Amino acid sequence: MGIVSALVRSSFLVNAVYAESGREYGVTPQQGQLLCVLMARPHGMSELGAMLRLAKSSLTGLVDRTERNGLVQREPDPLDTRAVRVALTARGERVAGEFYDETCRRIEELPACLSPAERDLLAGLLGRVVLDNEVPVVFQEPDEGARAAQSH
């Protein structure tokens, strides 16, 4: 299998994991991504748009739907009175944590056929691709997620 096919098909595999986890927690894959991003801290709308690579109208709709579900809330930005930040609600923190844990568990199982050394090699190579392409931190390492949840 070539690199293009392998990367595209692996992205479909990870998206399927988001969809499976999302069904269990009553969120769409995009809502799950939003919750995972917000686990670390509240973010402004423009920052979220850049991180999730969504147009302003798409992001507004995503935040509106997630807010109607009681998982996020808009709050004033203390540094800019014209702007708002999006933050998890108490229910959102609980759902985000559970969704995150289940998604990590499922993704961890995907490369089960690889040896520990092969898993490390794969992580290193994919990590380089992600860093070289300046992909924002939209999903924390599992130990970072635990620390972020404890600090709330």
Please tell me the total count of domains within the chain. Answer: 1
What's the predicted TM-score (pTM) here? 0.82
Expressed as residue numbers, the domain containing 50 is 3-150
How are beta strands 80-88 and 72-77 bridged, if at all? antiparallel
Tell me, what CATH number does 138's domain have?
1.10.10.10
Which parts of the chain fold into alpha helices (H)?
3-25, 29-38, 45-52, 56-68, 90-109, 116-132, 142-150
pLDDT tens digits, residue range 85-118? 999 999 999 999 999 999 999 999 999 999 999 9
pLDDT confidence bin for 143, thresholds 50/70/90: low
Q: Please give the structure tokens belonging to residue 49.
A: 């748009």
Triad 27, 33, 39: Cα angle to 5°? 100
Closest CA to 144 of 8, 15, 37, 57: 37
